Amino acid sequence: MAAYEPVESPDESTVFPYHDLTPPTTADLFRARETVSRHLPETPLVRSETLSAELDADVYLKREDTLPTGAFKVRGGVTLVSGLDDEFRDRGLIAASTGNHGQSIAWAGREFDVPVVVGVPEDANPDKVAAMRALGADVRKHGADFDEAREQVERLASEEGYRYVHSANEPALLAGVGTAGLEVVEALPGVDVVFCPVGGGSSASGYCLSVGALLDADVVGVQAEGAPAVYRAWAEGTLAAHDRMDTFAEGVATRVPFAVTTEVLRDGLADFRLVSDDAIREAVARMYVDEHIVMEGACGTGVAAALAAGDDLSGRKVVIPVSGRNIDAETHRQILESSEYAG
């Protein structure tokens, strides 16, 4: 008999009674930082000389790729799992992921001695799958994409009583992720604009609640044009699933917008832009050639949008999160081989 049955959900994902659909506040980010700082290092904010010169701007890279899992999401995992109700510590956690959310929960589960199951698509990034397993997670493959894996995970959560860690409808997770923005506020209080990748929207929500709320900086969300579900949710105020999801960048490959992050993004984003897969690939190649940074496709969306903005950024202070480095070796090799920029 399942411990919890799903309750009515405002979006097309499943939520349970323990899910709080109230967005976090900026004060919640400061409280989360007390936890995050005990378990994770502050990440560097480094000026990109090449992007600064090209855009006639001061462009800084927030190096979230230096975190233990190679991506920003571990901030949220640590925050959520540190405050986990005792009833779930033995049953364990379950999450759906294309990789980085799963690694986040696996890392936090190991840190706090809580078992973790992660559901991934059948063709999930093999490097991310291996990393999750190395952290002790039970990785189960199901379905053609993230949303099919998510639906299976939600069924298992109901049937077997795991604590389902939603990838967006979790205020504690969003507050933890938002601590990156607090670090930017302290390191670069004059920031004008942040170009932030959007998959489920947790990272961009964090920047809205930090640099957007505290400094009145413009937070610009960026998504692959082949997977525009959250863009449409932001533009039209709908939580309906989108029938289009075609991008190589698995970190932004979702068909379903989520209630909590959509609310934060609609209130906090200054703009939302779409970029092509070709532009994303070129951004990944450029950052490797110019900065020697190995960058995921999802992360490349922010660079691609900044490059497309061109002269509009002249004289401004710009931050681009390097949200993750966990691109599989074969995809990265193909991008470099096909790139004119990489030569």
Q: Which residue has the higher pLDDT, 87 or 174?
A: 174
Task: Using the predicted structure, report yes or no on whether residue 209 has a pLDDT greater than 90.
Answer: yes
Confidence (pLDDT) at 4:
82
Q: Residue 17 contacts by C-beta under 8 Å, 6 or more apart in sequence?
A: 4, 7
Q: Are 326 and 127 in contact (CB under 8 A)?
A: yes
Tell me if 117 sits within 8 A of 92, measured CB to CB.
yes
Query: Residue holding tokens 């090799």?
Result: 333
The pLDDT of residue 328: 93
The average pLDDT across 147-168 equals 96
Structure tokens at 215: 């400094």
Interval 238-285: pLDDT, tens: 999 999 999 999 999 989 999 999 999 999 999 999 999 999 999 999
**pLDDT average, residue stretch 22-37:** 98
What pLDDT, on a 0 to 100 scale, did the predictor assign at position 1? Answer: 40
pLDDT score at 342: 86
pLDDT of 332 strictly over 60: yes
Q: Please report the domains of the chain, with CATH numbers, ordered by start residue.
A: 26-72+172-338 (3.40.50.1100), 74-167 (3.40.50.1100)
Tens of pLDDT along 108-137?
999 999 999 999 999 999 999 999 999 999
pLDDT at 3: 63
Q: Calculate mean pLDDT across residues 144-156.
A: 95
